[in-house]
Amino acid sequence: MTEPTRRKSELTAYLSHELRNALACIQQFGNILVDGLAGELSGEQREYIGIMLENASKIRSVLDSALDGVPDPLEKCTNKIERASGLET
């Protein structure tokens, strides 16, 4: 593995790790609120936290598909962005 590739892999592993931990906290405490473990919520409050949790799930999907489990995650992620934006050559 070349030095730039190794450094990219380390960076993506670091990013994935940090984002997953932060996301875990968001989901954990969102679910704690929704389940009433910290007191009852109004219907509107539950709805808004539900929106927050749905979007946290979307971030997780992006993480799963773009950053993990590939030899060069940054390259895969870049390719996805290029495809989505029509910039792929």
Partner 1 sequence: MDSRKILIVDDNADIRLGMHLRLKANQYETFFAADAFSGVAEARKHRPDLIILDLGLPAGDGFTVMERLSQIPFLAVIPVIVVSARDGLGNQKRAYDAGAKAFLQKPVNDAELLAVIRQALGEPAGTKKPTLHDQGSV
In the bound state with partner 1, the residue whose beta carbon lies nearer, of 45 and 82, is: 45
Structure letter (DSSP) for residue 71: S
In the bound state with partner 1, the residue whose beta carbon lies nearer, of 19 and 78, is: 19
Q: Which residue has the tokens 């590939």?
A: 70
Chain residues in the site for partner 1 (CB under 8 A): 13, 16-18, 20-21, 23-32, 34-35, 37-38, 46, 49-50, 53, 56, 60, 68-69
Q: Yes or no: say if 16 and 63 are a contact pair by the CB < 8 Å rule.
A: yes
What's the distance, CA 72 to chain centroid? 17
In the bound state with partner 1, the residue whose beta carbon lies nearer, of 50 and 88, is: 50
